Structure 1
């Protein structure tokens, strides 16, 4: 098939709306409602698990051997660990991120009585008081505190506001959408992935594409703490493609343009055949791509496999600079990933035996084992001994 045209304005609008909704892991009800309503507007019938993970199925020619596209709605954040004697708050992180990127962040504290605004500061935040100690103060969650923008200068006054241990703290994304295509914000992981999934779905519906098998659109709510797609994968799903970020950093092959196809992460290699199919589709559809391996990274796919689901998994990523910090992406990557996702879900099913959860050896896949053909002309021969 020819790759579908993605409505970039729709994709960008969805990303703006998603970034405007706070959704640290554990505090995701509002964003779940938002995405469920958008899926209904597109004509699907979303189903929610007890805690709020979303499944919406776009019907195809067959139910068995279904495909899935998975992204996550939750983001990094923090919780109140302790109310200090000075009325400020000690925090613990939600998800794995550095206190280095927390310093200076504007926040919202969600309590049972309502929300408050605040700022995360170093314990030595005043340059006029601490002089050079501001620069040499250690980095770590025990070295920062949250200053609440309310009349509270001791523990009793803070408690009187209704703030308590365990309250959720959401970090402002502070998004910027630049005319040159760059987008800078916190929480692009994985709200950009959610926007891509919605734009992919919108394109398929707008072009009235007939799918070979059902495609499940999965939106999880606890990926940042390792739960991911563990409980939302159903038995009819044979293959699952995760859309998430690919880190552009020294030693990595990812870029902020095109699609990054992950070959492995810290949970191990992704499925050989599904990954190869995605690479082949990029070549056939002239979609820019690169491959990468991530040492300190896991996604929704890893949690599904670890939970015992026998599904083929792959990860297609948009390159992101400064992941889990002040992140930057480019619209070219978002569009490219959406184009690949449309090509994938519309492509023919090649491994027929995946319809069954268990079957015999007939039709089982093969991986190449023969030696590669060597080039006939060798240009750089080693020098002869003694020359």
Structure 2
């Protein structure tokens, strides 16, 4: 394993997960990524929907590749300011309320201020609510306790907090001595970090790609319509780089690159999938082929929108998706290696 490569990816990842970016609130992180890819020598543009397209010219400029990963994450929005000064939430993305119960968070106001808080069940105190463990974790009972002296709706409004303000969850990033990386938002910032390292190494090694390649950093994947538009018309292959789902019945682990054969939207392009498999086998990249039963990607969103491309999906194995996620540096390494060999390979 290339230690420097993994250190770079991990450093990028730690930076990314600490930048709040729930879907709909991604301008700052997109600007950060734009600066990074510009430093790597890519030409960049921002789409009307706020996504980033970073392009590196290749020897063949008639047929293009596109690799995408998304920086938007799960989060919430203020649904209601309650009479006691707590906040009722509306979910951004698909997760379970119990997965964020007890988490620290930040409320981002429309005026640019930020306030800290904690996501709690209303009936948390065991000394007051005898049957709190029986209460359903849902929008009616989960709330944010703001770390300000507020006891009423009027107090909260005076802070500048209003309905529609975004709420981001603390990542709790940690890298263990055994090589595990634990954090919220590894989906999909781990993949973005890998694409960043690809671009950085292309510059560092002064490499020229065989085909013009676009790095599409999408910002609405968690709500279903990320990289589904503004795809350069010369694009032939569209490869989403997103997390591999781990659980009962899955082959993916935290130590391999996961290649998706099918998700909830249907099969991915068989030829592109097999091309990735053959590259992994040829270059001794640890991988597993898997089916993700409750999953959709930027690539599948592009197909649904009518893109005429060969679409594929590969990514690091992530445990406990949409909750307290975890992966291993080996998975980051193998995914990076597979993508490196892919971008220098022939088109399918």
TM class by shorter-chain length?
A: over 0.9
- 1:345-360 to 2 correspondence within 5 Å? 345-350=343-348
CA distance in 1, matches of 2:55, 2:8: 21
Query: Contact (CA 8 Å) 1:4, 1:343: kept in 2 or not?
Result: no
Deviation of 1:4 after TM superposition, in Å, equals 8.9
1:130 is matched with: 129
Q: What is aligned with 2:216?
A: 218
Partner of 2:143: 145
How do 1:50-199 residues align onto structure 2 when only pairs under 5 Å count? Answer: 50-113=48-111, 114-131=113-130, 133-199=131-197
Query: Any residues of structure 2 matched to 1:218-297 within 5 Å, and which?
Result: 218-297=216-295
Q: Deviations over 1:52-110 (max 9, x none)?
A: 21111111111222111100010000001111111111101100011011211111101
Deviation at 1:317, TM superposition (A): 1.7
Contact (CA 8 Å) 1:6, 1:335: kept in 2 or not?
A: no
Shift of 1:168: 0.4
Task: Tell me the distance in 2 between the aligned counterparts of 1:230 and 1:51.
Answer: 11
> Larger C-alpha radius of gyration, 1 or 2?
1
Q: How many residues align?
A: 347
Q: Does the 8 A contact of 2:41 with 2:56 survive in 1?
A: no
- Equivalence map 1:6-45=2 (5 Å): 7-45=5-43
- Measured after TM superposition, the shift of residue 33 of structure 1 is 1.1
The C-alpha deviation readout for 1:167-206, integer Å capped at 9, x for no partner, is 1001111111111110111011001010011112222332
In structure 1, list runs of 5 or more residues that go unmatched: 351-387
Q: Is the 8 A contact 1:5 1:339 kept in 2?
A: no
Alignment gaps of 5+ in structure 2? none
Q: Give 3-state SS (helix, strand or coil) of 2:8's partner.
A: helix
TM-score, with length taken from structure 2 = 0.97
Structure 1 window deviating more from structure 2 (51-60 vs 188-197): it is 51-60
Distance 1:195 1:109 in 2: 26
1:375 equivalent in structure 2: none
Contact 2:37 2:199 in 1 (8 A): no
Pairwise CA RMSD? 1.4
Shift of 1:6: 6.6
Contact 1:223 1:229 in 2 (8 A): yes
CA contact (8 A) 1:121 1:146 kept: yes
Q: State how far apart, in whole Å, the 2-side matches of 1:313 and 1:29 are.
A: 27
Larger relative strand fraction:
2
2:53–2:216 Cα contact (<8 Å) kept: yes
Distance 1:228 1:299 in 2: 8
Q: Which runs of 4+ in 1 moved over 4 A?
A: 3-6
Which deviations, in whole Å up to 9, do the C-alpha atoms of 1:24-59 show, x marking residues without a partner?
Answer: 001101101111111112122211112321111111
For structure 1, which segment, 96-105 or 206-215, has the greater mean C-alpha deviation from structure 2 after superposition?
Answer: 206-215
Deviation by residue 1:261-303 (Cα, 9 ceiling, x = unmatched): 0000011000011110000000000101111001100010111
Instruction: Report SS of the residue matched to 1:92.
Output: strand
Verify the 8 A CA contact 2:34 2:52 in the aligned structure 1: yes
Whole-Å separation in 1 of the counterparts to 2:70 and 2:123: 36
| Alpha carbons 1:218, 1:232 under 8 Å: kept | no
Q: In structure 2, what is the Cα distance between the partners aligned to 1:90 and 1:30?
A: 26
- Aligned partners of 1:294, 1:317: CA distance in 2, in Å? 12
The normalised TM-score by structure 1 is: 0.87
Q: CA deviation at 1:156?
A: 1.1
- Corresponding residue SS for 2:123: coil
